[in-house]
């Protein structure tokens, strides 16, 4: 059951400390990519530049666009909304076995749904169903950091293979048919269970943010970024 009053209250609550995302020089030698869910990815740093510690991308997400629910089995992830405008959803239960797919050979899950406010940071650990949606009426920027990003564990090639290389950002351009298919079919090769639509993995929605999800692990993110400021150590 959708709890619209709780959702509105969460949007107005002043229970978070805005995060100032550090300036990171764009050094990744990667093309601009229209992702298979409709976002445009500009890769700022990959594991090559971050010593395998993380993959960092800045996304431009058109209005009412976002990926369907999915589960990362190899990486943890941070989400940062400079201007807000997004809704996050995160599952209640852990799904550590990539062969156990919610709604297929495992039970569907409940998700919490809550707004992301300006300069809000959110941490999403591996094994949990999650996703986001630009719920505003205009394109918005979103930062994503995945960790780790090594030769053995990286989702960079997932976006490069399932997405489409583009010359510039065009919020009116949509992924083609094959890209949308690859969003789902290529995902397991990169440690991801990816649903095709919102309700495939989800049984119900709770419009609130539980207390344990308020920990954005900002100290861990800063430690990760600071650890490679002076280059890779042997």
How confident is the model over 158-189, as pLDDT tens digits?
999 999 999 999 999 999 999 999 999 999 99
Read off the pTM. 0.93
Q: Are strands 55-61 and 40-45 parallel, antiparallel or unpaired?
A: antiparallel
Q: How far is CA 206 from CA 1, 30, 137, in A?
A: 7, 38, 23
Would you say how long the chain is, in residues? 234
Please check whether residue 110 lies inside any domain of the structure: yes
CA distance 87 to 11: 10
Q: Match 């992830």 to its residue by tokens.
A: 77
Please check whether residue 102 lies inside any domain of the structure: yes
Please check whether residue 185 lies inside any domain of the structure: yes
The domain in which residue 156 lies consists of 4-15+27-226
Please check whether residue 89 lies inside any domain of the structure: yes
Please check whether residue 20 lies inside any domain of the structure: no
Please check whether residue 79 lies inside any domain of the structure: yes
- Mean pLDDT computed over 55-62: 98
Residue 84, phi then psi, degrees to nearest 5: 70, -155
CA distance 72 to 154: 11
Is a pLDDT exceeding 50 seen at residue 3?
no
- Could you tell me which residues come within 8 angstroms of residue 191 by beta carbon, excluding any fewer than 6 positions away? 72, 73, 74, 75, 98, 153, 155
**CATH (domain of 117):** 2.60.120.10
Q: Are strands 86-94 and 128-134 parallel, antiparallel or unpaired?
A: antiparallel
Please check whether residue 233 lies inside any domain of the structure: no
78-118 tens-digit pLDDT: 999 999 999 999 999 999 999 999 999 999 999 999 999 99
- Neighbouring C-beta atoms of residue 27, cutoff 10 Å: 12
- Mean pLDDT computed over 192-214: 97
Handedness of CA 165, 167, 171, 176 (dihedral sign): negative
Please check whether residue 21 lies inside any domain of the structure: no
Element (H, E) at 50: helix 47-50
- Split into its structural domains, the chain has a count of 1
How many CA atoms are closer than 13 Å to the CA of 175, on its beta-carbon side?
27
Q: How confident is the model at residue 201 (pLDDT cuts 50, 70, 90)?
A: very high
pLDDT value at residue 101? 97
């Amino acid at each position: 059951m959708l709890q619209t009053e709780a959702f509105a209250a969460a949007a107005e609550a002043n229970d978070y400390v805005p995060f100032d995302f550090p300036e990171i020089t764009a050094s990744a030698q990667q093309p601009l990519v229209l992702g298979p869910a409709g976002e445009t990815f500009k890769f700022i740093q990959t594991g090559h530049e971050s010593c395998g510690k993380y993959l960092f991308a800045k996304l431009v997400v058109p209005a009412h666009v976002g990926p369907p629910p999915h589960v990362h089995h190899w990486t943890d992830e941070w989400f940062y909304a400079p201007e807000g405008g997004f809704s996050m959803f995160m599952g209640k239960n852990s799904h550590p076995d990539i062969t156990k797919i919610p709604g297929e050979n495992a039970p569907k899950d409940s998700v919490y749904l809550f707004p992301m406010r300006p300069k809000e940071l959110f941490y999403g650990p591996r094994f949990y169903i999650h996703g986001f949606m630009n719920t505003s009426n205009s394109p918005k920027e979103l930062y994503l950091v995945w960790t780790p990003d090594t030769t053995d564990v990286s989702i960079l090639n997932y976006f490069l293979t399932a997405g489409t290389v583009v010359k510039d950002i065009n919020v009116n351009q949509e992924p083609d048919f094959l890209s949308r298919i690859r969003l789902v079919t290529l995902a397991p090769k990169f440690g991801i269970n990816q649903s095709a639509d919102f309700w495939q993995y989800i049984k119900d929605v709770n419009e609130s943010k539980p207390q344990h999800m308020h920990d954005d692990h900002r100290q861990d993110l800063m430690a990760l970024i600071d650890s490679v400021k002076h280059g890779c150590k042997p």
